[in-house]
Amino acid sequence: MSVLTTIARSAVRAGRPVARIPTASLSLAARGVHTLPQLDYPYNALEPHISGQIMELHHKKHHQTYVNGLNAAEEAYAKTDSPKERIKLQSALKFNGGGHINHSLFWKNLAPQSQGGGELPAGALKEKIEADFGSVDAFKKKFNTVTAAIQGSGWGWLGYNPETKKLEIVTTPNQDPLLSHVPIIGVDIWEHAFYLQYHNVKADYLTAIWNVIHFKEAERRFLEASK
Ligand SMILES: [Fe+2]
């Protein structure tokens, strides 16, 4: 079985980690071996808006699989000099690398209400949202409409466009990371993010998630992006 096939299969089987890379074989590229980041809150801390069961599976199984797939793809890339083999690895690098980047951002993007989740404080981000969308409610409504229309799996984003200097709502398919804008808020629209709790009613998940969006973190990102 080819390296690529191994990586692709491991990527779609949530919770089934690929073989660990032997320490002795660690190459220069493996210095940057990626690891699953810890959450800043317990799995059940976002209830009732996102269940503890979803959070645990999503973090421990799904995100871990992207981390494993990315490490395996990078290691395979470093081990070959063949351009053809390296080209074959591009999709695994993009899928697993994007999955790792997006989920790492997503966990920080959420917070229990006891830690400010759902609260958009007065300040630069709130003012910018009001300027670019008319009101916070109009922004949320537009975000949910655009994001609910994603066909298949993907991500909904509030992104900062460095060219127009505006906040814009954009989507990316699959695990593609947001590259055209600086991500300010990202929402996972894969079924694994909501199906166990919300079944096929994506709109209810999108309505609920605003109760646990960590707007202070979003504002930090916005200030960094716009300075
Ligand atoms: Fe996810």
The rounded Å distance from CA 179 to ligand 1 centre is: 18
Instruction: Count Cβ atoms within 10 A of the Cβ of residue 157 and give its class: 0-12 exposed, 13-18 middle, 19 or more buried.
Output: buried
152: alpha, beta or left, given left = phi > 0 and alpha = psi -120 to 50?
A: left
182: alpha, beta or left, given left = phi > 0 and alpha = psi -120 to 50?
A: beta
The rounded Å distance from CA 61 to ligand 1 centre is: 10
The rounded Å distance from CA 143 to ligand 1 centre is: 18
The rounded Å distance from CA 11 to ligand 1 centre is: 12
The rounded Å distance from CA 227 to ligand 1 centre is: 30
The rounded Å distance from CA 200 to ligand 1 centre is: 16
Paired tokens of 131: 């300027």
Residue the block writes with tokens 């980690």: 17
Query: Residues 190-194: contacts with CB within 8 Å, 24+ apart?
Result: 190/62, 190/153, 190/154, 191/153, 192/14, 192/54, 192/57, 192/58, 192/62, 193/54, 193/58, 194/50, 194/54
Q: Which residues are annotated binding-site positions for Mn(2+)?
A: 58, 103, 188, 192
The rounded Å distance from CA 174 to ligand 1 centre is: 10
Give pLDDT tens digits for 117-128: 999 999 999 999
Give pLDDT tens digits for 138-196: 999 999 999 999 999 999 999 999 999 999 999 999 999 999 999 999 999 999 999 99
Q: Domain limits of the chain?
A: 3-41+48-108, 114-226
Q: What is the pTM of this model?
A: 0.86
Give pLDDT tens digits for 46-89: 999 999 999 999 999 999 999 999 999 999 999 999 999 999 99
Q: Which residues are annotated binding-site positions?
A: 58, 103, 188, 192
The rounded Å distance from CA 84 to ligand 1 centre is: 30
Is CATH 3.55.40.20 the classification given to domain 114-226? yes
The rounded Å distance from CA 202 to ligand 1 centre is: 14
> Each residue of 97-110: b (16+ CB within 10 Å) or e?
bbbbbbbbbbbbbb
Residues with CB under 5 A from ligand 1 (ion): 188, 190, 193
Residue 106's nearest CA partner among 194, 24, 167, 20 is: 194
Answer yes or no: is pLDDT of 8 > 70: no
Domain boundaries 3-41+48-108, corresponding CATH code: 1.10.287.990
**How many beta carbons lie within 10 A of that of residue 7, not counting itself?**
25
